[in-house]
Amino acid sequence: MKDIAAVSSQDTLEEVRVRYIGRKGSIAELFKQMGKIDPSIRGEFGKTLNMLKNDATAQIEAMARELEQAETLAGYDPTLPARPIAQGSYHPITLIEREVKRIFTRMGFAIKRGPEVEDVWHNFDALNTPDWHPSRDETDTLYLADIPNMLLRTETSPVQIRTMQAQKPPIRIVAPGRVFRNDKPDPTHSPMFTQLEGLYVDKGVTFADLKGTVLQFYRHLLGKNVVTRFRPHFFPFTEPSAEVDVSCPFCGGDGCRVCKHSGWIEVGGSGMVDPNVLETVGIDPEIYTGWAFGLGIERMTMLLYGVDDIRLFYENDIRFLSQFGGRR
């Protein structure tokens, strides 16, 4: 048995095997002696000899396994790096759009989508935009050349109109999607970007609801300590209208580079749906009220990830995209 423990290679183990349990090995030799053994103890002798043989065989086999493993391990370097596989990643706009969608879905909003190529009626007229409003100008809006009164939508608000045309209140939706403006690309402007707008129309919907929902949304998105503030503004499709500021989630409102030391970040527009808009889609503003709000997904994405040039989103450089590979 000491011989087994002493072997260090397959070759010497083979020698040991031959020497003890081989056909001409010492155990075989002992079996040959069986005939000469006193018959009274012959049975006992045979039993013992078998046990010895089994034991030796088992030990040799165990040793063989051990040697084989050692050999495998000897060639193995655990510090070798992982082999690469194809890495997929979500576009950062998708990541934040989904995050926003998830929050609103949890708050009981349905998702709605609409066409990127829209008609003037849905994009402007139905939204109470005066004929003379500068946003209708070709300097602001991209129109189609061959079909009159068609354009690349300038906001996702036409989805609100389409939803209100198709469905009676109560309505509680968010509409994400691409929108287009006649802007030359620069670090903060893009002719195409992503918006998300919310709409809630029902009996008894108030400005207080708007404030509550918007606050909770931003707390879910930016952390439970942020606060919002509403500043009066003018938008054709809401009245009263408000711009929404959120306290800077990075400095807690003390002032930092991100919020330009103001403690506040402007995050979007909002307001009570103008009665003219409700009337246009056949909803009686005496019975129903509603609020709407919007935010820019790119802007929010830039804010949250510290992206400083909006063009990076559409350049799709792998050095940019690959940074957003984390799953959730």
The residues near 312 (Cβ < 8 Å, ≥ 6 apart) are 320
Question: Binders of other proteins among 157-186, rule CB under 8 A?
Answer: 167, 170-173, 178, 180, 182-184
Quick one: which of 154, 190, 170 has its CA closest to 314?
A: 190
Cβ distance to other proteins smaller for residue 171 or 303: 171
Q: Per CB under 8 A, does 246 bind other proteins?
A: no
Least distance in angstroms from the C-beta of 206 to other proteins: 3
Total interface residues for other proteins by CB under 8 A: 84
Q: Per CB under 8 A, does 274 bind other proteins?
A: yes
Tokens of 52: 């010895």
Q: Per CB under 8 A, does 43 bind other proteins?
A: no
Residues for the chain: how many in total? 328
Q: Per CB under 8 A, does 17 bind other proteins?
A: no
Cβ distance to other proteins smaller for residue 8 or 262: 262
Sign of CA dihedral 298, 300, 304, 310: positive
Q: Per CB under 8 A, does 27 bind other proteins?
A: no
Question: Binders of other proteins among 121-140, rule CB under 8 A?
Answer: 131-134, 138
Question: Binders of other proteins among 190-229, rule CB under 8 A?
Answer: 191-192, 200, 202, 204, 206-209, 211-213, 215, 229
Least distance in angstroms from the C-beta of 11 to other proteins: 29
Q: How many CA atoms lie within 13 A of 134 on its CB side?
A: 4
Cβ distance to other proteins smaller for residue 115 or 252: 115
| Pairwise CA distance, residues 23 & 53, whole Å | 12
Given 7, 63, 93, 226, the residue binding other proteins (CB under 8 A): 93
Least distance in angstroms from the C-beta of 313 to other proteins: 6
Farthest-apart Cα atoms in the chain, separation: 125
292 DSSP 8-state letter: E
Over the range 270-282, which residues count as b (16 or more CB within 10 Å of their CB) and which as e?
Answer: bbbbbbebbebbe
| Pairwise CA distance, residues 307 & 302, whole Å | 4
Do the bridges between strand 150-152 and strand 238-247 make them parallel or antiparallel, or are there none, so unpaired? Answer: unpaired
Q: Per CB under 8 A, does 12 bind other proteins?
A: no
Least distance in angstroms from the C-beta of 296 to other proteins: 14
Q: Per CB under 8 A, does 307 bind other proteins?
A: no
Least distance in angstroms from the C-beta of 173 to other proteins: 6
